[in-house]
């Protein structure tokens, strides 16, 4: 019998699959992890994550704003996203695209 992962483990698995140069909203991560109303819980999980294999800088607010980052603040998060080719000015002006994923 396959063991079902707990919500935090499912969140981390979803975030690990976000490709470089792409962001996903907290609410979309929650939906893909199986709890569509748990966007705030995703934020809490991301704020407590220090595992370098989890690219938590790729998780942003639904309106496209970067939000905070536990490894250096919002400026560091913005710089990381820009270094991966994410156009933040484009994100801010655009609503969610393809169920929370913005390229």
**Residues annotated catalytic, as ranges:** 56
Residue 23 backbone dihedrals phi, psi, to 5 degrees: -125, 160
Q: What are phi and psi of 25, to 5 degrees?
A: -75, 155
SS3 content of the chain, % helix, strand, coil (to 5): 45, 5, 50
Going by C-alpha positions, the residue among 35, 28, 68 that lies closest to residue 8 is 35
């Amino acid at each position: 019998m396959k063991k079902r992962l707990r919500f935090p483990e499912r969140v981390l698995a979803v975030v690990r699959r976000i490709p470089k140069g792409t962001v996903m909203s907290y609410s979309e991560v929650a939906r893909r992890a199986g709890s569509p109303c748990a966007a705030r819980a995703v934020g809490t999980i991301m704020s407590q994550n220090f595992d370098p294999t989890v690219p938590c800088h790729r998780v942003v607010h639904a309106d496209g704003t970067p939000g905070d980052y536990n490894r250096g603040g919002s400026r560091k998060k913005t710089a990381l996203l820009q270094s991966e080719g994410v156009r933040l000015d484009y994100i801010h002006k655009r609503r969610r695209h393809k169920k929370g994923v913005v390229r």
